[in-house]
Amino acid sequence: MDDPWTQAMRRGDFPAAWGMAAKALAARDPVTRDDPSLPYHLRWVWDGRPFDGRRVLVRCYHGLGDTLMFSRFLPLLARRAARVTVEMQPHLLPLFRGFPGIDLRPFDVARPLPPQECDIEIMELPLALRASPIDAPIPQMGITPAALPSGTVALCWGAGDWDRERSVPQAMFAPLCDGPALSLMPGPSGLPVLNPDGCPLDMVLTAQLVAGSALVITVDTMIAHLAGMLGWPVWLLVKHDPDWRWPTEGTRTPWYPTMRVFRQPAPGDWEAVMADVTRALRHEPVLATGAMT
């Protein structure tokens, strides 16, 4: 049975989730705040102090996808704080040069920036602001689409080592390559894709490939958040017990209006998911504009 906070987040009951998170925050020992003995992704940063009219340092301690997902709250914070500095993963910095009122700095894990009047981890912003995804529209990222063949489908089947159960065997994506297909994976592929050597390790170039495709089909990884942030049609493939941010009922999520979720009907059943995706792709032809009929 999932914990109440996870259940609230999955069903989009953000006030309930904030209430539980606020109680957990109040119960924390202040001595453990931003504990340097812990890995960055296990640290908590915001201690509940006010941020209105203050200099705020936003720390990005989690994955690239997490930073992308929660970056939508930065403009809301910038309207209320005196100054916002964001210590962001260097790979992502080129995507966010256009965010107004925000000072971007590369995150050096060996030499993090010193604290400011108020420090907060980027994933803590919804709680601090009491803002849902509906309250924080996705900012325009100004990406120029790559020139790709009409109807190209961009594919990502690997989710890395964080949770191997999120990945789909590469061979199961073969039926999705009947038309022009593109790999968004970093390594070589044996599939009949336009780029058999893989996708470059460059976030701007990757974003351009996403924006040049008609549709992105991806497992739960950074690519899903990149496509969602770009407002691009994206089909997300998730395991039966998905991460807290994805629904367990229905196919839509308030985080990304252009996203459609395909969920395993039973643990480990990627065959059923891929059959549904293949069927949907055949019955909903992808257009060059990225729209689906």
Listed by start position, the domains of the chain span 4-135, 153-283
Tell me the residue type at 243: D
Give the pLDDT confidence score for residue 202 in this predicted structure: 94
Give the pLDDT confidence score for residue 285 in this predicted structure: 66
d(CA 110, CA 123): 21
Contact assessment for residue 230 and residue 211, using Cβ atoms and an 8 Å cutoff: yes
Q: Which residues of the chain have pLDDT under 70?
A: 1, 285-293
SS3 51: coil
Residue 70 phi, psi dihedral angles, 5° rounding: -95, 0
d(CA 259, CA 2): 24
SS3 153: strand
Give the pLDDT confidence score for residue 99 in this predicted structure: 77
Give the pLDDT confidence score for residue 14 in this predicted structure: 96
Contact assessment for residue 92 and residue 63, using Cβ atoms and an 8 Å cutoff: no
Give the pLDDT confidence score for residue 53 in this predicted structure: 97
d(CA 247, CA 261): 8
Residue 245's Cβ-side half-sphere holds a number of Cα atoms within 13 Å equal to: 17
List, for residues 141-151, the tens digit of each pLDDT value.
889 999 999 99
Q: What is the DSSP string of 154-183?
A: EEE----SS-GGG---GGGGGGGGSS-EEE
Burial of 132 (0-12, 13-18, 19+ CB in 10 A): middle
Residue 240's Cβ-side half-sphere holds a number of Cα atoms within 13 Å equal to: 8
What is the fold of 153-283?
Rossmann fold (3.40.50)
Give the pLDDT confidence score for residue 1 in this predicted structure: 61
CA distances from 123 to 163, 179, 213, 231, 272 (A): 19, 38, 29, 20, 33
Q: Which residues are CB-contacts of 164 (< 8 A; sequence separation ≥ 6)? A: none
pLDDT over 90 for what percent of the chain?
89
